[in-house]
Amino acid sequence: MISTKKLIKMAKKWQRIAIASRKRVSWPKPVTDEGHFVVYTTDGTRFMIPLTYLNADIFRELLRMAEEEFGIDASGPITLPCDSSLMEYIISMIQKHVAKDFENALIASLASCRYSSLVEHQQQNNQHLLISSF
C-alpha cells in the first residue's frame, strides 16, 4: 500500500506536469513551404507549387478550368482538371521557360480536349435519354 505522503507527492508532480503542458505553445506544422501553394490532380497526386508559377498563362488557364469544372470550395483543396503526368509536364515546361507560342498551343490543346470530352459526354447522355424514352 502507498503511503499518504507518497500519494501527495505524486499528485503535486502530476499537477506540475499538467500546468507545464498547458503553458507550452505548440505551433502546427505548415501544410506548405513559404511561398508555395498546394494543388491536387484528378488522380489524387499532391503538388506543391511556387507562387511565381501563377505568372504562367498555362497555370492560370488550368486554375480557370478547375473553377469551371469543380467550382470554388473555400474549405477544400484545389483540384486541377489534369492527371499527374500532365501536371509534371506543365511544371517542367514552366521551369524551362518555353516560348509563349508553345505555351499558347498547349493551352489551346487543353481547351479543345476538354471541349471534345464535354461533347462526347453530352452525346452519351443524349443516347441514354433516347434509350430511356422507349
Question: In which band, very low, low, confident or very high, does the pLDDT at 83 lie, cut at 50, 70 and 90?
Answer: confident
Q: Is residue 18 part of a domain?
A: no
What CATH number is attached to the domain comprising 98? 3.30.710
Q: Is residue 120 part of a domain?
A: yes
Q: Is residue 48 part of a domain?
A: yes
> Which domain, by its residues, includes 55?
36-133
Question: In which band, very low, low, confident or very high, does the pLDDT at 1 lie, cut at 50, 70 and 90?
Answer: low
| Angle, helices 100-133/57-70, rounded to nearest 10 degrees | 20
Structure-block grid coordinates of residue 58: 498555362
Residue 62 pLDDT more than 50?
yes
Q: Is residue 19 part of a domain?
A: no
Residue 63 neighbours by CB distance under 10 Å: 15
Q: Which residue has the higher pLDDT, 84 or 33?
A: 84
**Across residues 56-76, what is the average pLDDT?**
81
Q: Is residue 3 part of a domain?
A: no
State the total domains in the chain.
Answer: 1
Residue 28 pLDDT more than 60?
no
